[in-house]
Chain A
Amino acid sequence: NAGVTQTPKFQVLKTGQSMTLQCAQDMNHEYMSWYRQDPGMGLRLIHYSVGAGITDQGEVPNGYNVSRSTTEDFPLRLLSAAPSQTSVYFCASRSNRVGNTIYFGEGSWLTVV
């Protein structure tokens, strides 16, 4: 049972570099999302998608891009990394059934120096 798989688990970037955090789920879930977790801030929604070809912004979308070309994958792109993007990133997915549970990946620790 793979569930939600995130890669890489750890990454160090230099300011201005770009990178992509990968997220894949094998549960055929329609809904996928990206959160960032910072001390004292809880989890804040970056972007989300309710299905292939559909994405929307969350609470803190600036500096991040997403796309959803398939049901399984939802990559998060940092176009020009900034130290303020140092955080732990979580990908999550769920089905659209009533009362459904959201499943989280194990997290990606990103440091921008």
Chain B
Amino acid sequence: AQSVTQLGSHVSVSEGALVLLRCNYSSSVPPYLFWYVQYPNQGLQLLLKYTTGATLVKGINGFEAEFKKSETSFHLTKPSAHMSDAAEYFCAVRAMNRDDKIIFGKGTRLHILP
């Protein structure tokens, strides 16, 4: 079975500073990994995903994430935070097998300080 742990339910960074949101996963088979963003009162929007191939994945809005199998991690980063990045971020995992369930982490709310 898969599981996802997001470290820190709230993260605050200053505008222009590095954004780092942590995600660790557990999966008995090779995983697909995703990051989604949710703005207030809206649905979830895909930021980026890892399936196979290059372990450094670039997404929208300047975000990227690196799949590290040895650390079972898929941390999300952005070099310079912008006020518009304030939102809730969800890491998700899906197993590369017949199990079609996608399991989400509990989310990290990102606050941007002026």
Contact = CB atoms under 8 A, between A and B. Distances in A.
A34 interface: no
B44 interface: yes
Interface string B39-81: 0011111100101100000000000000000000000000000
A101 B44 contact: no
Given A98-B51, A99-B51, A42 B43 contact: no
Interface string A84-102: 0000001010001011011
B107 A42 contact: yes
Nearest to B45: A104
A90 B51 contact: no
A107 B43 contact: yes
A45 B105 contact: no
B85 to A, nearest CB: 19
Interface residues of A, number: 24
Interface string A24-58: 00000001010100001111110010100000001
Interface residues of B, number: 22
A45 B90 contact: no
Interface string B8-26: 0100000000000000000
15 contacts: A35-B104, A40-B9, A40-B106, A42-B104, A42-B106, A43-B107, A45-B102, A45-B103, A48-B100, A50-B100, A99-B49, A102-B102, A104-B43, A104-B44, A106-B42
Given A31-B100, A99-B51, 19 more contacts: A40-B9, A40-B106, A42-B6, A42-B107, A43-B104, A45-B101, A45-B102, A45-B103, A58-B101, A59-B103, A90-B43, A98-B52, A101-B49, A102-B46, A104-B45, A106-B42, A106-B43, A107-B41, A107-B42
